[in-house]
Amino acid sequence: MNDETSGKASLRRELLAVRALLTSQSIEETAAALASSALELPELADARTVAAYVSVGREPGTRALIDTLRERGVRVLLPVLLPDNDLDWAVYEGPEHLARAGRGLREPDGVRLGPGAVLGADAVLLPGLAVDGRGMRLGRGGGSYDRVLARLAAAGARPALVVLLYGNEVVARVPEEPHDHPVDAVVTPAGARRFT
């Protein structure tokens, strides 16, 4: 394990410990604030297709945002975790069409569109644990979104990459490895911030 990998593991533990202290009420309040702040980003407000995800546990809530996007006529793609940790995609048809899946996830029950469906997105919402001032994102460590980002880069696709976080998760520095990609913006309850 190199220093960057070790630094990522340590930072993940710290941030997950803080998330573990969050109450259900604070998570719900944050979700509403995140949806409002995210919709102020033109990259999301003007998008026709957004690849998103359904938050679980103490992740910053995405349900209010994906429901609002869908109500506005945006095609929302949600991931379906494949056995090799890659992601397939399906269209979000509403909360009644979310099925329980492994690892506590909620996935769309519709037609699978294939891993390449993300290439048609105008914006991609990425889960994460932290981001720094350079836009470097720290994920959970499973590698699923690293594959998505590599797929986008290989195809020359350039959707807006946006991570949703709690305010304390914008940090001074995220350890990075060669495969890491910066995001274009972070949304916290306090508002959105773009990276250059």
Numbered residues of the known binding site for ATP = 8-12, 137-145
DSSP letter at 176? Answer: -
Q: Which residues contact 83 (CB under 8 A, 6 or more apart)?
A: none
Tell me how far apart the alpha carbons of residues 3 and 122 are, in angstroms, rounded to a whole number. 35
The annotation places the binding site for substrate at 54, 59
Backbone angles phi, psi at 84, to 5 degrees: -90, 15
- Gyration radius (Cα) of the chain, Å: 16
CB atoms near residue 137 (< 10 Å): 25
Quickly list DSSP for 81-124.
E-TTS-EEEEE---GGGEEE-GGG-EEE-S----GGGGGG-SEE
Crossing angle of helices 63-71 and 24-38, rounded to 10°: 40
The annotation places the binding site at 8-12, 54, 59, 137-145
**At 171, which helix (H) or strand (E)?**
strand 170-171
